[in-house]
Chain A
């Protein structure tokens, strides 16, 4: 079988338009980490379980270990590096810091992007809304309660 041809894709990452050539089997997370050198997006379980690799694809959280880079052609991707603006942490990040919403930090980028999507659509989430929004993100340190408090706090802060 002849070698599969690389595919040219156009993608906007954290607001920056990028043109790349990717092998069809390249996973979105691999492209983000290796080709774009944005290593804030973590590979955790690599099996669509843990959500450490969560990014926003056209505004929606997806597990980037389970999307091919070629499928993101023409789309906008937001990674954790796109959250802070003008040298200021995003209110969600600030809240994670203040409420101790992270321990080892491995799940943090995915958690924050899941929270970002929740709060963008639901400024007054109930307890159940928050728990449902991060149900696809595993914290292996089991620090869920503080993550939950951080998201609640961020929601409050963002409503002001």
Chain B
């Protein structure tokens, strides 16, 4: 299988890429890691007449601490994040990067491409939403910053305007005594999760001060499980509280039945994943080193 013919443009800066897609119009697409776009083009679901390649732009891939935030370049590959010491200081970020697909896909796929694709089964959005992430954008009308919660509009739909692209992702560093976990249930490594749960919480004298819980792959966009968060807030995290939060997360999930399982099966996955993720997040918040790993069928 190979894509329809297209004109290839190699951008040398993000500004140039934005100008190029603005000028070329609807027929143009940006190529980041290509791990979603190239398969779609091979299947002829996507047939751009022009492809603007971002991969040769110098300085578009970086991971650095800037004040109280971790800043990521849009072309930063999942594998670079997986192996980055500053990124690994936020365990939920490391979990997410290290669990995406397989080694090969993580070596190509980018965090900016993943967010801009807004695939309902994508991993990054749910994990980064728990941290209050901001997306920096650059387009024909200049630069702007959008809260990730406002950036994701719908399945495969973001707030990006024509000609606009992601220029940076800023992740606020979690406060002291915080912990997070991102857990997915997958049939095997290369596929998308059947369901996934992102939990980020902070403790205050043993009590949960704050919590954010987002579900992935069980709705058209990441689903915030607000009632599950409320079950945790102000409480000592014990097995009853974890069970109550997990039940609330299950109720918040809105999955579609598909080849990855029935809706009920996915809700049950959400329940179990939430309980496990809260447990890991709480232990990490207490300073324990806990390896998080996705669960495979």
Q: Which residues of A contact B (CB under 8 A)?
A: 1, 3-5, 7, 23-27, 30, 46-51, 54, 57, 60-63, 65-68, 70-71, 73, 114, 117, 132-133, 135-138
* Nearest CB of chain A from residue B44's CB, rounded to whole Å: 11
* Nearest CB of chain A from residue B260's CB, rounded to whole Å: 14
Give the distance in Å from the alpha carbon of A84 to the alpha carbon of B41 in the complex: 35
Q: Which residue of B31, B53, B104 contacts A61 across the interface (Cβ within 8 Å)?
A: B104
Place the interface of chain B in its size category: 20 to 34
Ranked nearest first, the 6 interchain pairs of A and B with the lowest CB-CB distance are: A136-B102, A135-B189, A24-B8, A60-B107, A25-B3, A63-B104
Q: Does B268 have its Cβ within 8 Å of any Cβ on chain A?
A: no
Of the stretches B32-40, B115-123, B207-215, the one at the interface is B32-40
Interfacial chain A residues near B189, Cβ < 8 Å: 135-136
* Nearest CB of chain A from residue B49's CB, rounded to whole Å: 6
Query: Assuming the A-B contacts A1-B49, A62-B107, are A136 and B6 also in contact, with contact meaning beta carbons closer than 8 angstroms in the complex?
Result: no
* Nearest CB of chain A from residue B97's CB, rounded to whole Å: 13
| Additional 12 contacts, C-beta under 8 A, given A25-B5, A51-B102 | A30-B2, A54-B104, A60-B79, A61-B104, A62-B104, A63-B104, A68-B31, A70-B10, A114-B103, A136-B102, A136-B105, A137-B102
Interfacial chain B residues near A24, Cβ < 8 Å: 5-8, 51
Q: Which residues of B contact A (CB under 8 A)?
A: 1-8, 10, 31, 34-35, 38-39, 41-42, 49, 51, 53, 55-56, 79, 101-105, 107-108, 188-191
Query: Could you jot down 6 A-B contacts, CB within 8 Å?
Result: A61-B104, A70-B8, A71-B31, A117-B103, A135-B102, A135-B103
Asked whether, in the complex, the Cβ of B102 is within 8 Å of the Cβ of A71, the reply is no
Asked whether, in the complex, the Cβ of A132 is within 8 Å of the Cβ of B103, the reply is yes
Interfacial chain A residues near B102, Cβ < 8 Å: 51, 135-137
Q: Which residue of A5, A46, A60, A71 contacts B34 across the interface (Cβ within 8 Å)?
A: A71
Interfacial chain A residues near B190, Cβ < 8 Å: 48-51, 135-136, 138
Interfacial chain B residues near A136, Cβ < 8 Å: 101-105, 189-190
Asked whether, in the complex, the Cβ of A68 is within 8 Å of the Cβ of B5, the reply is no
Interfacial chain A residues near B53, Cβ < 8 Å: 70-71
Interfacial chain A residues near B5, Cβ < 8 Å: 3-4, 23-25
Interfacial chain A residues near B56, Cβ < 8 Å: 73
Interfacial chain A residues near B41, Cβ < 8 Å: 25
